[in-house]
Structure 1
Amino acid sequence: MLAIYTRLSREDDDSTSIKNQIREGKAFAKLHNNKSFEIYNEGEGISGTLSVENRPALDQLIKDIISKKITVIWMRNQNRLERSTYTYHYFIKYAKENNISVYFGDKGKLDYNDPTTYLQGSILSAINQYAADLQSHQTKKSLLDNAKEGKFHGIPPYGYKKNENRVVVIDEEEAKVVRRIYALSLEGNGQSKIAEFLTADNIPTRYNKIGKGTLTTTNKFTKEKTTTKKSNITWSGNTIRGIITNTVYKGEKLYKGEIFKIEPIISAEYWQQVNDNLKNNRNTSGAKTNTYNYLLKGLIRCGKCGRNFYGRTRKDKKDHYYMCSSKRIKNENCGNRSINIDFIENFIWNQFFTNGLLRDRIEAYYDNSDEKQLLKQFAGELKKHNTDKENLLKEKSQTTKYLVKGILEEDEADQQLIRIRKQLNEIETKILNTESNIDFYKNKSQSVEEITADLTNIKKDATFNDKEILVNNYIQNIKVLFQYDNYIIDVEGYGLNTRIIYEVDRNYKYISEVDKLYYRWLEERKKGTIKLKFEEYIDNDINNSSFYQMPGEKKITIK
């Protein structure tokens, strides 16, 4: 079978488009009477400098070479294959070993057993890599030279602006705010309190001044995205801390490990004094918080607003709760009730691990699962994850290009690149997890035995680290909602199609497993879309024909 391989980087002109490459590849197939062919399209924005494993189409092509599926390969030219000598030699190794006929454009078949052909290809590959390395070097040099000249590609830090020569100078109006922030901090005010002062005084943030556009943030635990208009963004404690700790305000801009001098807003001595005082502003009232290992950190979140629950405790356990992080922000408290740390941690550990509920659910799930359907599902997920990864790599390349051209400001580009790196890490994790699921079902019986053993041989005196590993391996998400004088605890397991919902009274004494319909009824009551009692809601649910367990039917004893 003929393979037509296509790729387009950001630097290519329109004549090299994927559409044109495919058209030329099909013309080659017709000319050589290759009725059977497959297109391996790497897509747009994928650099030829990337390794094979980061180029899904090329990686699949080499696998198909090894499996003997492919016998002939066409590419428009060697540039489509690589801009890296390693990739060139890696590809040619498998092409030679499997007697693959390789064609570049309208040239004849390339004989890589001929030393001259091999040498010419190696020289061209070296030139391709040189061009890529030179471009990268020039980009970095341009950014470094600008830093030395006091220029910013991106939006300067708050308190500064760019003059007509793109050199950073002090913005006197914003500089007054910066000096006020430092003074308030030295007086003993925490970052959140300073943010409240500035917001109350209607002092605009940098985003308020920009006005246009939106800012998208990603929850580091749940991965959910939130989009906010830049014109609505208020001062936050993190922004205040960033201003206080940024060395640029004492005249030192740090770039690529080097320090470049710019005009300071405050003296170096004053900057140091304020930063040394930061630790004194933490918890300036009340008893000191106690160092505590939170078993459910990153797993538990608010069932009302969706924010993370964070742990808060003191030595005397007067405050000992997981609470919604909205309580940290003035005027944004969603009102959901906090939940006792000891209760919820012991409940999850005992119910799902010590009492064997999770083990039993997993065994039942795998006994009833359809391996072929699940493998197909995971294959689809893996394809989507790889596509998401490709798109992020394209976005990364485009961002760097816009930065060099001055279309994007440096700070904005840095923020985007940081976000892209984080999302790439998240995608890589999803890819690994999905590949793990595929391997699991291909070796199902052995995997089930390993999981069962993992959840059966739990030590009675398990350490925190032992518990943390198991909880994070098998529990995906815990949502807590306080409504109608009861807690609703919604627990989901990783990849198990397992979701169990519990109702707990406010004193943590009465616990029952409730039906999902009951939870849905509560959610609709909360939104105000219905006013029915639960019994009436069941009678009116025309899509339900099975028996629904009423709240409290199945009591659970927690040791």
Structure 2
Amino acid sequence: MSNQQLCAVYARVSLDRQAESVEHQVTLLRELARSRNIGRIPDAFVYQDTGISATKHSLWTRPAMNRLIKDADEGKFQVVLFKGISRFARSTQEALDALDRLRSKGLRVISYEENYDSAKDSGNFTFTIHSAVAEYEAEKTAIRVRLGNKEKARQGLWTGIPPFGYKLKDRRLVIDQEEAEVVRKIFDLYVHEGYGTFRIAQMLNEQGCYPRSGKRWSRTTIGYVLKREAYKGWVVYNRKTQKRVRDYDSPIQGKKKWIRQLNPPEEWVIVKDSHQPIIDESTFEHAQEILNRRKVKETAPNVQHPLTGILFCKKCGEGMVCQKRSYKDKQYRYYICKTYHKYGRSYCDQANINADDLECGIAEKLEQCIQDQYDPLKIQQYVVYSSFDAKRLEKKLKEMNDKIGKLNKDNADLYFERENMNEEQYRYLTQRIREEMDNLLKKKRTLETERDLAQNDEAANKEILTHMEDFFIMDRSKTHEFRRFLHYFIDRIEIEDNKTYVQTAFSF
């Protein structure tokens, strides 16, 4: 194979495996490409994800992997190499999806540790086995780490990154005096001065006093500080468990997402007086009482506002959320920018929008769009055509299956007649049948794909037609029903000052 062929390398190392450096993986794969004469690896085609756990971070959310996929789609290289499938992905399904995507672009995929080469192994069986082993090993490692952390927590040791206000010494929390002063200030303002979380965040940001990450304080991060038992000298572990589950309600069916579940109290590990407190217990408990009281007072009814999830601020790009305000015994709803909601008007000056007026205006725009450009008769014709096309292809598939069945019978008959012919004649006839069978199976797969697409088109067109008809007769006062229709027909709405930009989900 020519050395002019361009190769890409994907390397990853998680936070707990820094000993196995990215540089080591890249050096190893360069030597592999050289020794096997696979091709050339330009520096621009080395993709590195450092400090990223394959168990906690989906393959599709890693920055370097996203760049590799984008460059692969643009045909910048012909081969992709990685040290092992465990460096690539810890989810069997994700690994197979990525492999299929790369191979669909005509790329050769090579894994050093498993000695896998897609140019030699045309199927996915070997890759699937190795991916499943990698996923199983990741699960075993996670269990071992969790059990080890539980034991450390029982000894009063801290198992993660120290909270703001502390540093670690021999896995025990030790007060960081400079940060601890900020923590004390937060509790003092909240408990004794009557400040809210939003006002505290705003004050600290204006003073240039930021968290360790360098990001701005928000009402969420201030609330998180106020709830942490570590500040009263406790170590609390295993209160919640983080799990990856398949999200079948997402636009990408079956995509995995992380959820945090509360464990039964008997599984919690709580060690009191494990380190020096920053806040006395009385002040901490007083803060919890205020948090709980305000939480009950501010909790809105369980209403899904029609535009949340598809409404965005065009100025800063953040989503917009809905809030309720009361004035003279009357309630008003407003959509407000998340940036303003978190950090204040100085960070985004998008004005609040009256929810009722905006929702009514969006509904009228959508209704007008449908009436002006949507032709129910035309889509009804599509439904009829899709149905006819699906039936036609189903008939062809039946004919194809009959041919395959006949060919299988011919092959069986030939086997029983093999003693009545010489070896060369038998080999020639069996080869002819095998080639014809391969050809028929290929045609069958093509027909099945076309049939499935036609059936999907038929179902989709019927669904659109039904939703269009129902849209004009729905009761907009039923919030959940109104929200469902808006989210079905609209992909995104952006607000800039008083201007509204609507991006529909369909080309009517």
TM-score (norm 1): 0.48
Could you tell me which amino acid in structure 2 is paired with residue 241 of structure 1?
G
2:351 to 311, 314, 337: 337
SS at match of 2:86: coil
TM alignment of 1:191-210, pairs within 5 A: 191-199=197-205, 202=207, 204-207=209-212
Structure 1 residues 237-282: Cα deviation after superposition (integer angstroms, max 9, x where no partner): 2221111111212222233343344323234444223212224446
RMSD: 5.2
2:493 alignment partner in structure 1: 478
Structure 2, unpaired ranges of 5+: 1-8, 14-19, 39-76, 118-123, 240-268, 383-451
- The 1:190/1:366 distance shift into structure 2, 3 A limit, reads farther
C-alpha contact 1:52 1:59 (8 A) present in aligned 2: no
C-alpha contact 1:475 1:491 (8 A) present in aligned 2: yes
2:314 alignment partner in structure 1: 303
- The 1:130/1:447 distance shift into structure 2, 3 A limit, reads closer
1:265 alignment partner in structure 2: 278
* 1:53 has 2:93 as partner: yes
| Deviation of 1:74 (Å) | 9.2
| Deviation of 1:236 (Å) | 2.6
Q: Distance between the aligned counterparts of 1:126 and 1:348, measured in 2?
A: 48
Structure 1 residues 351-396: Cα deviation after superposition (integer angstroms, max 9, x where no partner): 314873497189989999xxxxxxxxxxxxxxxxxxxxxxxxxxxx
Q: Distance between the aligned counterparts of 1:169 and 1:302, measured in 2?
A: 42
Q: Percent identity between the aligned chains? A: 23
- The 1:197/1:133 distance shift into structure 2, 3 A limit, reads closer
Structure 1, unpaired ranges of 5+: 1-5, 28-37, 82-89, 95-121, 208-214, 216-229, 369-438, 499-559
Could you tell me which amino acid in structure 2 is paired with residue 55 of structure 1?
A
Could you tell me which amino acid in structure 1 is paired with residue 351 of structure 2?
R
* 1:312 has 2:323 as partner: yes
1:455 to 463, 468, 471: 468
C-alpha contact 1:160 1:170 (8 A) present in aligned 2: yes
| Count of aligned pairs | 344
| Deviation of 1:490 (Å) | 0.8
- The 1:74/1:189 distance shift into structure 2, 3 A limit, reads closer
1:157 alignment partner in structure 2: 163
- The 1:444/1:299 distance shift into structure 2, 3 A limit, reads same
TM alignment of 1:76-475, pairs within 5 A: 78=114, 91=125, 136=142, 139-140=145-146, 143-144=149-150, 146-148=152-154, 150-152=156-158, 155-163=161-169, 165-187=170-192, 188-199=194-205, 202=207, 204-207=209-212, 230=214, 233-257=215-239, 258-261=269-272, 262-263=274-275, 264-281=277-294, 293-314=304-325, 316-317=329-330, 319-328=332-341, 329-330=343-344, 332=346, 334-353=348-367, 356-357=370-371, 360=374, 443-458=456-471, 459-461=473-475, 463-475=478-490
Q: Distance between the aligned counterparts of 1:254 and 1:288, measured in 2?
A: 27
- The 1:91/1:56 distance shift into structure 2, 3 A limit, reads closer
Could you tell me which amino acid in structure 2 is paired with residue 184 of structure 1?
L
Could you tell me which amino acid in structure 2 is paired with residue 306 of structure 1?
G
C-alpha contact 1:8 1:45 (8 A) present in aligned 2: no
Q: Distance between the aligned counterparts of 1:296 and 1:7, measured in 2?
A: 40
- The 1:236/1:130 distance shift into structure 2, 3 A limit, reads closer
C-alpha contact 1:440 1:447 (8 A) present in aligned 2: no
SS at match of 1:307: coil
Q: Distance between the aligned counterparts of 1:62 and 1:327, measured in 2?
A: 42
- The 1:171/1:91 distance shift into structure 2, 3 A limit, reads same
TM-score (norm 2): 0.52
| Deviation of 1:58 (Å) | 8.0
Q: Distance between the aligned counterparts of 2:454 and 2:31, measured in 1?
A: 41
Q: Distance between the aligned counterparts of 2:321 and 2:133, measured in 1?
A: 54
- The 1:357/1:21 distance shift into structure 2, 3 A limit, reads farther
| Deviation of 1:53 (Å) | 2.0
Structure 1 residues 315-338: Cα deviation after superposition (integer angstroms, max 9, x where no partner): 544643323344433451644333
Q: Distance between the aligned counterparts of 1:127 and 1:337, measured in 2?
A: 53
TM alignment of 1:26-45, pairs within 5 A: 41=80, 43=82
Could you tell me which amino acid in structure 1 is paired with residue 491 of structure 2?
Q
| Deviation of 1:452 (Å) | 2.0
Q: Distance between the aligned counterparts of 1:288 and 1:75, measured in 2?
A: 52
Could you tell me which amino acid in structure 1 is paired with residue 503 of structure 2?
E
SS at match of 1:55: helix
- The 1:59/1:239 distance shift into structure 2, 3 A limit, reads closer
SS at match of 1:306: coil
Q: Distance between the aligned counterparts of 1:363 and 1:148, measured in 2?
A: 70
2:505 alignment partner in structure 1: 494
Q: Distance between the aligned counterparts of 2:344 and 2:98, measured in 1?
A: 52
Q: Distance between the aligned counterparts of 1:319 and 1:125, measured in 2?
A: 54
| Deviation of 1:467 (Å) | 1.8
C-alpha contact 2:197 2:219 (8 A) present in aligned 1: yes
| Deviation of 1:168 (Å) | 1.2
Could you tell me which amino acid in structure 2 is paired with residue 169 of structure 1?
V
Moved more, 458-467 or 295-304: 458-467
Q: Distance between the aligned counterparts of 1:240 and 1:349, measured in 2?
A: 38
SS at match of 1:301: strand
